[in-house]
Structure 1
């Protein structure tokens, strides 16, 4: 199995691992994730139908209104939350969600690191929000 190591900026501490869900266009808050099931319901999302629970979400940034984090919080209250987040560039929406939900987060990767070409949905991710290190274990292709 091929492994890739990346380094980003630690944004919220903690270690996490799990299967990646890669959303290059992010996930909107309102009508993006079902609050009761944790399933991506945004019609235009390439990962529509997948559950965010215990996954590592790979997103460019938060998408939509300032209530973005509230929708992920509602899903977490229902028992469905990501294990970790990787953001190309963190913004206020994603920063608030990381802190409120206590989800290990790594962000602000350098411009030469394209998360969306390096990581595919189904790859296994090990991440350390204390150091910013990300290990990608490629699924068999």
Structure 2
């Protein structure tokens, strides 16, 4: 059974999203960590290996490195394999750029919110 959870936060990119939460205590890099064609986590060092982020609300402390993560996120948004939205504990300019580029180029919005993700 699922239960709705509400959080108050700051939008890095505003929007609305619904989906099942996919919660990780570790950051995830989209560059080398997500397959943009399928949405599967492919980072062998990440506890979410094999899970699919497509259409989910991705909850994690922050993104993890590589400025190329923005291009992978934008491509996943274009393909429909990206999360429906992302909640982070700390702002992440790299993921924000990916979401902003996808909105600008493809007119597809994926909200990115910074909030307390504990509990």
Q: TM-score, normalised by structure 2?
A: 0.81
CA distance in 2, matches of 1:2, 1:79: 25
CA contact (8 A) 2:73 2:95 kept: no
Check whether the contact 2:30–2:73 (CA below 8 A) recurs between aligned residues: yes
* Structure whose alpha-carbon radius of gyration is higher: 1
CA distance in structure 2 between the partners assigned to 1:4 and 1:34 by the alignment: 28
The total of aligned residue pairs comes to 112
How far the C-alpha of 1:92 sits from its partner, in A, is: 1.4
Q: Do residues 105 (structure 1) and 117 (structure 2) align? A: no
Q: Greater strand share, 1 or 2? A: 1
Q: Give the alignment's Cα RMSD to 1 decimal.
A: 1.9
With over 3 angstroms needed to count, the CA separation of the structure-2 counterparts of 1:68 and 1:84, relative to structure 1, is same
Identify the structure with bigger relative contact order (alpha carbons < 8 Å, sequence gap 6+): 1
Unaligned runs of 5+ in 1: 119-141
Equivalent residues in 2 for 1:1-141, closer than 5 Å: 4-101=5-102, 102-107=109-114, 109=115, 113=116, 115=117, 117-118=118-119
TM-score, normalisation: structure 1: 0.70
Say if 1:100 and 1:45 are closer, same or farther in 2 by CA, change over 3 A.
same
